[in-house]
């Protein structure tokens, strides 16, 4: 039997295994890590039918070559790094079937800088402190605690029996994010805005900053007009939240990101809202950033909209292209796949009784020993 794996055949710039991050250990000084653009990773996972927290690859600027050992499904989201599958352009934000021996390659950065690869089942590296995310700086987690290199053979977890069918792409009405070259980043003032006078805060809203080359997964250093402190730049060290806009003594802000240290001793004038962290993750050094203040209620609303988009991806009623059509039952408008006793996909409604697609009929089902009568609407099938 061939083990489900993929092999790295060409080096990339920085390709690491990431999931949604490592929580519960910040109090011991362990950074959270995880995907820089969490939305893109979660979407990629949902597109191939994974749990949204499964581990995938974060691919930075120059992608690696990847050869799959077995037939599987993949989705590439996030930046446009000119992905190709077996030499043909690979659509992003869409589940695509890969055959054993298939080669994924990347041919240059077009838009954004971090692409995410999800593989059906998820990447199988050891869970370290509750997460598969890589923290290269501390050689922690991921694939041997480091970025992938040529020759690495990365295991893939088996797809769970009875896993729901795979949606094809983004649901109707949802568009893939466009990353652009100028980034409006929304922030909530604080926690230490009290260390700055009004002019300094006003300067933060009116200035444009350029992302420094000295930016990485720990943080984005900005170049632009310095922000002056009313009091000193140093505080008694406290916790570093994700997205903190930290202003040290030279007045030049740094935005703290996934691999940030857990604590720090500089004033934090504002904090980037959760939905805009991913935007920053796709902002390329040399591009410009401007800040805009929002209220916490506005941030919550934007976050609800983002979560709704992920739910919509997850709850699509499409099945995987090319496989036998699945049989779906709608209960109160919610779609459920029908699976057999052994977890196998049921492609033909055993009780359709000749009902054609779009027609309904009465049926009964047994769930945990309880029998239910319900109406079946045939969605697909012949």
Partner 1 sequence: MYEKALFFPAGDQALVVELGETVSPEINRRVHDLTLAIEDQDIPGVIDLVPTYRSLLVQYDPSQISIHELQASVLEVEEGLAERATEEPRVVHIPTLYGDEHGPDLEFVAEHAGLTPEEVVSIHSGTDYLVYMMGFTPGFPYLGGLSDRLATPRLATPRVETPSGSVGIAGSQTGVYPAASPGGWRLIGRTPLMLFDPKREPPSMLSAGDFVRFVPLTDEDEYSGIQDLVQQGEYQVTAERKR
Q: Of 271 and 282, which has the nearer Cβ to partner 1?
A: 271
CB of 244 to partner 1, least distance (A): 7
Q: Of 200 and 328, which has the nearer Cβ to partner 1?
A: 200
**Contact between residue 240 and residue 256 where contact means Cβ atoms under 8 Å apart:** yes
CB of 291 to partner 1, least distance (A): 13
Q: Of 304 and 348, which has the nearer Cβ to partner 1?
A: 304
Q: What is the C-alpha separation between 105 and 32, in angstroms, rounded? A: 29
**Contact between residue 305 and residue 237 where contact means Cβ atoms under 8 Å apart:** no
Structure tokens at 62: 């120059």
Q: Of 54 and 299, which has the nearer Cβ to partner 1?
A: 299
Q: What is the C-alpha separation between 42 and 314, in angstroms, rounded? A: 10
CB of 151 to partner 1, least distance (A): 24
CB of 361 to partner 1, least distance (A): 39
The string of DSSP codes covering 176-209 is PPP--SEEEEEEEE-SSGGGB-HHHHHHHHH-EE
Q: Of 50 and 240, which has the nearer Cβ to partner 1?
A: 240
Q: Contact residues for partner 1 (CB under 8 A)?
A: 23-32, 128-129, 138, 140-141, 187-188, 190-192, 236-244, 261-264, 268, 271-274, 296, 299-300, 303-304, 307
Rg (CA), the chain: 23
CB of 258 to partner 1, least distance (A): 13
Helix 38-47 with 296-314: angle, nearest 10 deg = 20
Q: What is the C-alpha separation between 220 and 223, in angstroms, rounded? A: 10
Q: Of 31 and 224, which has the nearer Cβ to partner 1?
A: 31
CB of 26 to partner 1, least distance (A): 5
Sign of CA dihedral 274, 293, 175, 107: negative
171-183 b/e (C-beta count within 10 Å ≥ 16 → b): beebebbebeeeb
367 burial (CB, 10 Å; 0-12 / 13-18 / 19+) is exposed
Q: Please name the residues in contact with 16: beta carbons below 8 A apart, sequence gap of 6 or more.
A: 57, 58, 133, 134, 136, 142, 143, 146, 147, 148
Q: Of 83 and 258, which has the nearer Cβ to partner 1?
A: 258
CB of 51 to partner 1, least distance (A): 16
CB of 247 to partner 1, least distance (A): 14
**Contact between residue 165 and residue 198 where contact means Cβ atoms under 8 Å apart:** no
Structure tokens at 5: 């794996």
Q: Of 22 and 320, which has the nearer Cβ to partner 1?
A: 22
């Amino acid at each position: 039997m061939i083990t489900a794996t993929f092999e790295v055949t060409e080096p990339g710039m920085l390709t690491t295994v990431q999931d949604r991050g490592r929580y519960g250990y910040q109090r011991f000084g362990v950074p959270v890590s995880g995907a820089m653009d969490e939305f893109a990773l979660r979407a990629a996972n949902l597109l191939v039918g994974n749990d949204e927290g499964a581990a995938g690859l974060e691919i930075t600027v120059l992608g690696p070559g990847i050869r799959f050992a077995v037939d599987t499904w993949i989705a590439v989201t996030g930046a446009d790094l000119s992905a190709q599958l077996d030499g043909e352009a690979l659509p992003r934000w869409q589940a695509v079937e890969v055959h054993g021996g298939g080669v994924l390659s990347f041919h240059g950065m077009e838009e954004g800088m971090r692409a995410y690869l999800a593989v059906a089942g998820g990447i199988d590296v050891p869970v370290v402190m509750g997460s598969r995310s890589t923290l290269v700086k501390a050689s922690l987690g991921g694939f041997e605690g480091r970025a992938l290199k040529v020759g690495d053979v990365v295991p893939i977890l088996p797809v769970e029996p009875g896993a729901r069918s795979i949606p094809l792409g983004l649901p109707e009405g949802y568009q893939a994010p466009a990353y652009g070259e100028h980034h409006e980043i929304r922030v909530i003032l604080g926690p230490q805005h009290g260390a700055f006078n009004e002019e300094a805060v006003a300067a933060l809203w009116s200035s444009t900053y350029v992302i420094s080359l000295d930016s990485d997964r720990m943080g984005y250093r900005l170049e632009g007009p310095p922000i002056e402190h009313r009091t000193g730049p140093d505080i008694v060290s406290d916790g570093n939240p994700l997205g903190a806009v930290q202003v040290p003594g030279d007045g030049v802000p740094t935005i703290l990101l996934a691999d940030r240290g857990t604590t720090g001793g500089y004033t934090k004038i504002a904090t980037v809202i959760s939905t805009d962290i991913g935007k920053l993750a796709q902002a390329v050094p040399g591009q410009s950033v401007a800040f805009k203040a929002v209220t916490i209620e506005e941030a919550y609303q934007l976050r609800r909209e983002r979560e709704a988009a992920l739910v919509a991806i997850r709850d699509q009623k499409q099945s995987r292209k090319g496989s036998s059509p699945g049989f779906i039952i709608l209960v109160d408008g919610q779609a459920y796949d029908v699976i057999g006793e052994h977890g196998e996909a049921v492609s033909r409604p055993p009780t359709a009784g000749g009902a054609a697609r779009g027609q309904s009929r009465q049926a009964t089902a047994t769930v945990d020993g309880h029998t239910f009568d319900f109406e079946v609407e045939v969605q697909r099938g012949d």
